[in-house]
Amino acid sequence: MVAAVVCRVYSVRSMIFRGKDPNTQKVVECEVADGKIARLSASTTGKLGTQVVGGNDVYLAPGFIDIQVNGFGGVDLESDTVTPEDVVKVMETQWPYGVTQFLPTITTGSSERICRGLRAVADAVEKSSNARAAIPGIHLEGPYFCPDEGPRGAHPLEHVRKPTWEEFRKFQEAARGMITMVTLAPEIEGAIPFIERLASEGIIPAIGHCNAKESDIDAAIKAGAKISTHLGNGSHNMLPRHANYLQMQLSRDELWASLITDGHHLPPYFVKNAVRAKQVSRCILTTDAISAAGAPPGRYRIGQIEVVVGPDKMVRHPVSACLAGSAATLDDCITNVIRWAEISLAEGLAMATTHPAQLLGLKTHGLAVGKAANLVLFRWDDGGMKVTHTVLNGAVVFGKTR
């Protein structure tokens, strides 16, 4: 049974959010009006009669962005019965963890199942103003992957295939143009011209679930590939010591790297090495969350696959024992990368805020006057991060305001 999450949305014409700037450690006030940041200053006087949320003991940052979310709060976006209301629930159940924007992620399956998930997301955005603010696009992860055990991960072999623009056009029509990012293996037949076409259409090509040679990675980058999806995962258990596709992607400054820092997908030493190799400025955090995220341990589904989630929050495929998504939350991923990579709070936050916004071209994201008021307030201490308030388009969607 999934515990219900009750989110009351508080919105007034003008509010002030107060907290410490993670970059300067100084208290700032962010005045919000009509869904946008109207004032940002070191003044902590506030306007008479204006409601103030936060305080000197919390931090204030732009809302978190997750570029790979397969489900959340007991809802599976791969379900045969997925609805627009399910998509909205996935959005709402991420609010307690500071996520204000995310890419619903549809993975490998039949053409019919993929289209069903894409339509549900597009319908949710059409019907819900909050969904329009929170969902800037869709991430299509697959079905154009390496079919080998290891790189394929938990994606069903019977639905792994070569890319065709005709099929992708069908997907984009179902999504009403919302597919923003596509992860595929660059070495499979037809992948490089497909990547070129994606890039020409303004869609982000991503490398993942592959068995690529250096020449394949070179060709993908030249064609327009921008990011390595969950680098370090979706790979063989055993690789050549030096000449392998993980090392090759780590070395390429042209590529962003998304990392799942949940404590299961990557060991802390790999995370530290990856952040040092790519540098903080090219790293993005993601959860790769499934329906078990934000929900109790138990059995859950990703499309046709049943997975088991233990008290340790590890998501296991019951047959192959490979990882199948995560039950992580983005606030925990931020906490982990700060500790493991030995970076600052501001640097860890950038991996879940500024960097994904740059990748996606979100011009309205950020803590500056005129930007959308998508904010998070949180406490930070030896126990890690604890979100106190989440703000979407100026409305408090999580946390008490009185």
Predicted confidence (pLDDT) per residue in 266-291, tens digit: 999 999 999 999 999 999 999 999 99
pLDDT at 165 over 50: yes
Beta-carbon contacts of 172 under 8 Å, excluding residues fewer than 6 positions away, are: 179
Q: Does 1 fall in a domain? A: no
The pLDDT of residue 48 is above 80: no
Same domain? 301 vs 342 = yes
Read off the pLDDT of residues 243-255 as tens digits, 9 standing for 90 and up.
Answer: 999 999 999 999 9
Looking at the domain assignment, is residue 279 inside a domain? Answer: yes
Examine the pLDDT at 83 and tell me if it is beyond 60: yes
Is the predicted pLDDT of residue 299 greater than 70, yes or no? yes
Report the alpha-carbon distance of residue 402 to residue 399 in Å, rounded: 9
Take residue 77 and report the two structure tokens written for it: 């976006």
Mention every residue, 6+ apart, whose C-beta is less than 8 A from residue 113: 78, 80, 303
67: exposed, middle or buried (Cβ count in 10 Å: 0-12, 13-18, 19+): buried
Same domain, 58 and 110: no
Q: What is the pLDDT of residue 365?
A: 97
Residue 212 has pLDDT above 70, yes or no: yes
Please indicate, yes or no, if residue 186 is contained in any of the structural domains.
yes
Q: Do 383 and 268 belong together in one domain?
A: no
How many angstroms separate the CA atoms of 18 and 42, rounded? 10
- Express each pLDDT in 167-207 by its tens digit: 999 999 999 999 999 999 999 999 999 999 999 999 999 99
Within-domain flag for 388: yes
Question: Is the CB of residue 254 less than 8 Å from the CB of residue 229?
Answer: no
Residue-wise pLDDT tens digits, 62-79: 999 999 999 999 999 999
Same domain (yes/no): 246, 189 = yes
CATH code assigned at 389: 2.30.40.10
Of the listed ranges 57-61, 318-322, 325-329, 345-349, the one predicted with least confidence: 318-322
Condensed to tens digits (0 to 9), the pLDDT of residues 106-124 reads 999 999 999 999 999 999 9
371 with 258, same domain?
Answer: no
pLDDT at 402: 67
> Radius of gyration (Cα) for the chain, nearest Å?
20
Tokens of 295: 């929900």
Domain for residue 258, yes or no? yes
- Look at the block and give the residue holding tokens 């970076």: 343
Residues 334 and 372 in one domain: no
- pLDDT number for residue 316: 76
Residue 293: pLDDT over 70:
yes
What domain count does the chain have?
Answer: 2
Domain range holding 278? 64-360
In a domain, 6, yes or no: no
Asked if residue 9 is part of any domain, the answer here is no
- Give the pLDDT score at 188: 98
- Which are the contacts of 81, defined by CB distance < 8 A and separation ≥ 6? none
Look at residue 34 and give its three-state secondary structure: coil
How much is the average pLDDT of 48-52? 74
- Please check whether residue 2 lies inside any domain of the structure: no
Task: Give the whole-angstrom CA distance, residue 130 versus residue 390.
Answer: 13
94 plus 170 within the same structural domain: yes
Residues 257 and 345 in one domain: yes
CATH of residue 93's domain is: 3.20.20.140
What is the C-alpha separation between 282 and 173, in angstroms, rounded? 32
Let me know whether 333 and 319 are in one domain. Answer: yes
| Whether residue 150 is found in the same domain as residue 89 | yes
Q: How far apart are CA 308 and CA 299, in angstroms?
A: 5
d(CA 226, CA 207): 8
Q: Are 181 and 293 within one domain?
A: yes
For 6-41, write each residue's pLDDT tens digit. Answer: 444 444 457 999 999 999 999 999 999 999 999 999
Domain identity same for 225 and 247: yes
